[in-house]
Amino acid sequence: MHQVRIKGSEKSYPVGKIVCLGRNYLEHIRELGNQVPDRAVIFCKPASSIIPDGGTIEIPDYSNDCHHELELALLIGKSGKCISEQDALDHVVGYGVALDLTLRDVQAEQRERGLPWEIAKGFDTSCPLSDFVAADQVDNPNNIRLTLTVNGEMRQEGTTAQMMRSVEQIIAEISKFYTLEEGDIILTGTPAGVSAIESGDQLVGKIEQVGSLRSTVA
Ligand code: MG
């Protein structure tokens, strides 16, 4: 079972589920030509998709178009169902840097056929994830800068202030459908600038006050 930890703490958390939000940044919705959703787009990645900081991404042979999506990750430290926006941050024990790697060709193909696109999102190594920082190290999770470089070149640059749904709203929304449990992780969506990665690429994701994440494509 995959474990994550909070920097400076002895405690580690076995990962439960990884719940992800799609289409949470307007500019990213536009760059893919998608519709602005009236209801949150929610999907899950299996915990087996996680690789740690410094890990190697393996693009499956059934895809020719793997995209990076840099995202702020939340680590849930307290269980809850139908959590109110007011109480939402009490359930977050840490923040981390994540990539929601996506096989864009497979996703498009599955979507066209009206089929679930989980195999485009949940493959092994599709969730590079940093260690977490304690929640109290982040002043305001709804106003921090995110950047992703590939081979030193800036690809994604944004701030969580651009999110259509705030961290509090995301937790409230997801917990209407799923009980959130200690060790669950939430990925909060990606800003604009997604693009394909290739063999040998070096990715560095950074989130202000949270940390950095390095990955290499096999
Ligand atoms: Mg995403």
pLDDT in tens, 78-108: 999 999 999 999 999 999 999 999 999 999 9
Distance 22 CA to ligand 1 centre (A): 5
Distance 71 CA to ligand 1 centre (A): 7
Distance 20 CA to ligand 1 centre (A): 7
Distance 208 CA to ligand 1 centre (A): 19
Query: Which domains are seen in the chain, by residue range?
Result: 3-217 (3.90.850.10)
Residues facing residue 4 across a β-bridge: 13
Residue 29 has pLDDT above 90, yes or no: no
pTM for this predicted structure: 0.97
Distance 78 CA to ligand 1 centre (A): 24
> Per-residue pLDDT tens for 117-174?
999 999 999 999 999 999 999 999 999 999 999 999 999 999 999 999 999 999 999 9
Distance 70 CA to ligand 1 centre (A): 7
Q: What is the pLDDT of residue 38?
A: 85
Distance 186 CA to ligand 1 centre (A): 11
